[in-house]
Structure 1
Amino acid sequence: MKNKYIDLIEQTFDWPQEEFKLEDDTLLWHNINLMDIIKQYGTPLKISYLPKISQQIQKAKMLFNVAMAKVDYKGKYNFCYCTKSSHFSFVLDEVLKNDVHLETSSAFDINIIDALYEEGKIDKDIYIICNGYKKDVYVENIARLINNGFENTIPVFDNMKEVDQLDALLEVPCKIGIRIAAEEEPKFEFYTSRLGIGYKDIVPFYLEKIKDNPKFELKMLHFFINTGINDNAYYWSELLKCVNVYIELKKHCETLDSLNIGGGFPIKNSLNFHYDYAYMAEEIIAQIKQACNSAGVREPHIFTEFGSFTVGESGAVLFSILGQKKQNDREAWNMIDGSFMTTLPDSWAINKRFILLAINNWFEEYERVLLGGLTCDSDDYYNSEQHSNAIYLPKYKEDRPQYIGFFHTGAYQDSLAGYGGIQHCLLPAPKHVVIDLDEDGEIRTRLFAKEQSYKSMMKILGYM
């Protein structure tokens, strides 16, 4: 009878997969024996596997460069990493190994740019795309960068007032961009994004505020689709609208030469995940080229801002099952030694699902369970997976430790949870381990952060 956890996985998915396989009854992730990591560091535990970041960047570069070569596309491809996905220094160090550019979202991002330059990790010719609705301090920091010689810093105007704000602070001419306010999907509660400038206002805005200002050289048109790059009518419609605005604006502005297709590729959120990255890159490039050629306009350079795609699949969170509570005849609660609300806030806030797998006991019988976090909030739970309205794990036994892992958690979760701050119910932030490969390809680990102490919380709260 096939009633073991390994049987369930093999019957449900193609198994093993690129980053997951078994060694005896223990899960390997990128050939890392996770039980060895748990024995060394304990749980709860966050892991960042840095080589995956470079793999994703090189994958994107290959996809778009191949797509351009197939149709003899005249523009160039530029990969930008949006720092808001993960600001950690070790992430930026890995990202910058790959000859890429950066995208910022707020004033303090510019301080990170300063630090990277002071450490010799970037040069002043790097593209820095400055997005977001800009407070005064953000505009001041952008102007400082440009005045200090970062000639490829491109502030992307999110609203018309930013022109005058930046104009007053600039000492030298600069390159700029304009963000289009895209229409949202029909399921949204509003029709148009709060970010950017409306389609119909772009050309008049350029003619009135930018064209005759010697400080500004319009180089980029930017659009962002909140739901990412997906093969559906909504995405292709918005892309075509954006390209048509680019074509119309190009007729008035010879310096315009770049199109930023913000909004990233999806990442693997289930072992059943299927997405044709090559097809999507080729179709995007082909549609842009066709529209531009039909209008007699040279096709633009392409910028992408991939955040989750870059770092999402590099992250994992490991938990222990502390115990099981059977509250009625049908529901068994496996209680983890952490919290979903504080460690994986997207699972609570937007019902996001991550890949969930048992770390050990794969050859034991499985059972259906619910997962509960340690906070006193009734919303601190996890009850289904991307492919199923249920969770199945090896049967819980008090005399047998059980560990589980959530995978592809590397984007946004730390910043949304308030890394290093006060967590719900004063639960401590878990240990954080960074894993890399040495020159011989051997796995090396280092403890980036210890589990948060009560003293650090007491100090933040004003008790010490």
Structure 2
Amino acid sequence: MYLHGTSRINRQGHLEIGGCDTVELAKRFGTPLYVMDEEMIRERMRSFVKACREQTDFAFRVAYASKAFNTLAMCRVVEEEGLMLDVVSEGELVTALAAGFPAERIYFHGNNKSKGEIKRAISAGIGWFVVDNFVELELLQQVANSLGQVARILLRVSPGIEAHTHSYIQTGQEDSKFGFDLASGQAFEAARLSKKMKGVQFEGLHCHIGSQIFETEAFTLAIGKMARLAEQCEQAGYPISILNVGGGFGIRYSADDKPLAVEEVIQAIAETVKREFRFAAHQPEIWVEPGRAVVGEAGTTLYTVGTVKKVPGIRKYVAVDGGMTDNLRPALYQAKYEALLANRATETETEVVSIAGKCCESGDMLIWDIALPKVKQGDILAVGCTGAYNYSMASNYNRLPRPAVIFVNKGEADIVVERETLEDVIAHDRIPMRLQKQMVSEA
């Protein structure tokens, strides 16, 4: 497994993260366990801010896409590092507000915002809404007017760019559930309508072309298309002041992944905006919204090995005490991961095994065909790069409790999400009176 951030192998031959021995972490907090490298998270945020600041001809802002990993503690880190925050639901918004995150640095995404969500967000004083469709535009106007407020907006645009990534996570192509279509003229019509609306203030454009992107071409093509729309808007008398080019910056999950340096991507974005927006009286402020690129490599999941099953001449299965309930991505996206035995990290790899989850699904496989030392029951398996979308997508399938999440930093380990108990799993269940057992009193 490639060691990211503060990860290293210590003198005991154990994996160490943030100055904490992961074998001891497993004993103390139990498994499965999400371990987040706080120092690496902060370093990744700072790398985006630094890369943007180096583009001195531009005003840049960096927002953390919180759907990747959203907790109270994470929102505190984002605030301390000075980033904006992108939320996509009332739950993510409430989490940010409960953490004390400044509402004016929050903007609200989503293709189906409810009236209640919009009302809560406006009442809280968030900075912007990223409007996804005409129905939302009308609803936003109604709610803003009813509250006597003005909602600042960006229009999400589908620019017709298909990034070279998994089809499930392409979001910028023409046939998409997200955003106003560019080719048909929907996007320009939305801009025209919004300029006429009382209670809505049109300020810019947004696009997001996909996830796990390893080249700059898709970004530059999308910016070129957005520039043509911006030029059309400016000619009509409503220039944009903000261009949000989204996120999707790729990370290294396995040796096959070759992500670009942050500086290279930001420079390509800046150069393209400078070239494509020469028509503009004023260059727009550029926003980027990394999520996975901030937390993905900073997360490691610890498991305890349980049963081992050998199918002669075919495969050896090693089962762990988690699976698709804490990491849905292999089943959903055919995502690939690397791993090592955290308690025997220096030992020679002697066999090829496949890591199975404990869910009652044949598709619950975390890793196919990985070389490890001879695996024993009770070993601690560490799977790398699980910081993004693993906790976010975790479920109670098979009524399994969700894992705890800890932050590690400079030898300290702190719980940021408590482990669910079996009592938590059934806490919201109710039995109707007609199904309750009738207690027969003894004679």
State which of 359, 365, 373 in structure 2 corresponds to 1:394. Answer: 373
1:143 to 122, 145, 149: 122
Which of 165, 181, 199 is the matching residue for 1:198? 181
Q: Which residue among 67, 76, 97 is the counterpart of 2:80? A: 97
- Are 1:164 and 2:138 an aligned pair? yes
Equivalent positions of 1:423-462 (< 5 A) are 423-436=396-409, 442-462=410-430
Unaligned runs of 5+ in 2: 437-443
Identical amino acids, percent of aligned pairs:
19
* Equivalent position amino acid for 2:152 in 1: K
Which deviates more from structure 2 when the two are superposed, residues 283-292 or residues 326-335? 326-335
Shift of 1:322: 1.7
Q: Residue type of the partner of 1:52? A: M
CA distance in 1, matches of 2:190, 2:267: 32
Contact 1:20/1:28 (CA < 8 Å) preserved in 2? yes
| Residue from 116, 140, 154 that aligns with 1:177 | 154
Inter-partner Cα distance in structure 2 for 1:322 and 1:104: 38
Counterpart of 1:444, as a letter, is E
SS of equivalent residue, structure 1 residue 348: helix
The reply to whether residue 21 of structure 1 matches residue 21 of structure 2 is: no
Map 1:101-120 to 2 at 5 A: 101-116=84-99, 119=100
Superposed CA deviations along residues 92-113 of structure 1, whole A, max 9, x for unmatched, are 1111101111112123333334
Shift of 1:34: 1.6
Match of 1:222 in 2: 206
Residue of structure 2 aligned with 1:245, choices 222, 229, 246: 229
Kindly tell me: are residues 163 and 431 of structure 1, through their superposed partners in 2, closer, same or farther at Cα, counting changes over 3 Å?
closer
Give per-residue Cα distances to partners, 1:335-367, cap 9 Å, x unaligned: 2122x2111111221111233222132224520
Letter in 1 for 2:408: I
Aligned AA (2:389): Y
Pair 1:197–1:368, CA change in 2 (3 A): same
* Structure 2: distance between partners of 1:298 and 1:229: 29
Counterpart in the other structure of 1:290: 275
CA distance in 2 between counterparts of 1:165 and 1:417 reads 32
Query: What's the C-alpha RMSD, in Å, of the aligned pairs?
Result: 2.7
Report how far residue 449 of structure 1 moved. 4.7
Unaligned runs of 5+ in 1: 1-8, 385-389, 437-441
Paired position in structure 2 for 1:387 = none
> Are 1:87 and 2:75 an aligned pair?
no
User: Contact 2:234–2:280 (CA<8 Å) still a contact in 1?
Assistant: no
1:307 corresponds to: 291
Question: How far did 1:180 drift?
Answer: 0.4
Which whole-Å CA distance do the structure 2 matches of 1:377 and 1:356 have between them? 21
Tell me whether 235-244 or 327-336 shows the greater mean CA deviation.
Answer: 235-244
**In 1, Cα distance between equivalents of 2:82 and 2:202:** 24
Give the TM-score taking structure 1 as reference length.
0.82
Within a 5 Å distance, the mapping from 1:371-410 to structure 2 comes to 371-384=355-368, 390-397=369-376, 401-410=378-387
Task: Sort the Cα spacing of 1:417 and 1:335 in 2 relative to 1 into closer, same or farther, 3 A.
Answer: same
Aligned to 1:6: none
Matched residues in 1 for 2:373 and 2:107: separation? 48
Shift of 1:184: 5.1
Q: Distance in 2 between matches of 1:248 and 1:201?
A: 13
Structure 2 counterpart of 1:133, one-letter code: N
Q: Is the 8 A contact 1:218 1:255 kept in 2?
A: no
